Amino acid sequence: MTPVSWLFVPAESQRKFAKAQGIGADALILDLEDSVAPAAKAAARDGLGGWIDASTGPRDWQLWVRVNPFDTGLTADDLAAVVRPGLDGIVLPKAQGGADVARLSDLLDPLEAASGLAPGHVRILVIATETAAAMFNLASYAPAHPRLAGLTWGAEDLGAVLGVTANRDETGAWTEPFRLARSLCLYAAANAGVPAIDTLYADFRDSPGLEADCRRARRDGFAGRLAIHPAQVEGINRAFAPSDADIALAERIVAAFEADPGLGAIGIDGKMYDIPHLKTARRVLASLRR
């Protein structure tokens, strides 16, 4: 099942990693990119192998690593250090398009084989909107590579590229360039048939604002959200969970269509539901946290 809450953990803090394991996040992302200073990256990378080895037992969360982007020249060394049993996926920052997923997969193939992992075991979550060029290549993620687990988007790096002075307006809403990036990430994910994951909510002290923003994200079609602080995980999980009423209606829609597969539309409580509603209902039921 696709993780709902994705919590970033600095790759140089074993204490924070140990604490994060009990927070309730669906996925922990050990971060070798933005949260580690350039001079500390090699040491942080070298320490991750032992952390991953110690995480191979039963657990209810996935383990991912955000590697450094291709243009740093550090990606291959990052992968060599972390591809081993216990790793579930790689987060690829500053991706330029679908070709980067194939490039990353080619690097993963021999590392999986050397580690005794099944081919294709390591999945890829792409941060798809962090450069100007990437915005023009979002359609290239379809058809989806077998390793592609989802697309997410980023505001901070894109803002630096554009030279913006702020990415939200006086009401707290995204400004136009970032609304566009957010929407195009949704369309690109839908086009590729993979989940869309919403970007970070920067103010980790604003729990009501986070939950309201997450409810809007779920409304718009996002399947989960990145978290920058452990305090955000509970709110993300709660906001993305379907309500009892959502679940009950989804179950009725699915049951009605299964009872008569030849129907193109059904009526429930005076409202008509057709095939798009059936797809949405199935997605709601598939999202239930177990």
All structural domains of the chain: 5-241 (3.20.20.60), 245-286 (no CATH)
Looking from the CA of 187 toward its CB, the CA atoms found within 13 Å total 13
Quote the CA–CA distance of 241 and 76 in Å, as a whole number: 37
Which pLDDT value is given to residue 289? 53
Q: For residue 193, count CB atoms less than 10 angstroms from its CB and return exposed for 0-12, middle for 13-18, buried for 19 or more.
A: exposed
Quote the CA–CA distance of 192 and 148 in Å, as a whole number: 9
Which pLDDT value is given to residue 276? 84
Which pLDDT value is given to residue 290? 45
φ/ψ of residue 90, rounded to 5: -120, 135
Angle at alpha carbon of residue 94, lines to 160 and 23, rounded to 5°: 95
pTM, two decimal places: 0.90
CB 52 within 8 A of CB 63: yes
Quote the CA–CA distance of 234 and 102 in Å, as a whole number: 34
Per-residue pLDDT of the chain (290 residues; tens, 9 = 90+): 789 999 999 999 999 999 999 999 999 999 999 889 999 999 999 999 999 999 988 999 999 999 999 999 999 999 999 999 999 999 999 999 999 999 999 999 999 999 999 999 999 999 999 999 999 999 999 999 999 999 999 999 999 999 999 999 999 899 999 999 999 999 999 999 999 999 999 999 999 999 999 999 999 999 999 999 999 999 999 999 987 788 888 889 999 898 888 878 888 888 888 888 888 888 888 877 54
Quote the CA–CA distance of 287 and 162 in Å, as a whole number: 35
For strand 265-268 and strand 271-274, is the pairing parallel, antiparallel, or unpaired?
antiparallel
Q: How many CB atoms lie within 10 A of CB 171?
A: 5
Reduced to 3 states (helix: H, G, I; strand: E, B; else coil), residue 196 is strand
Which pLDDT value is given to residue 141? 98
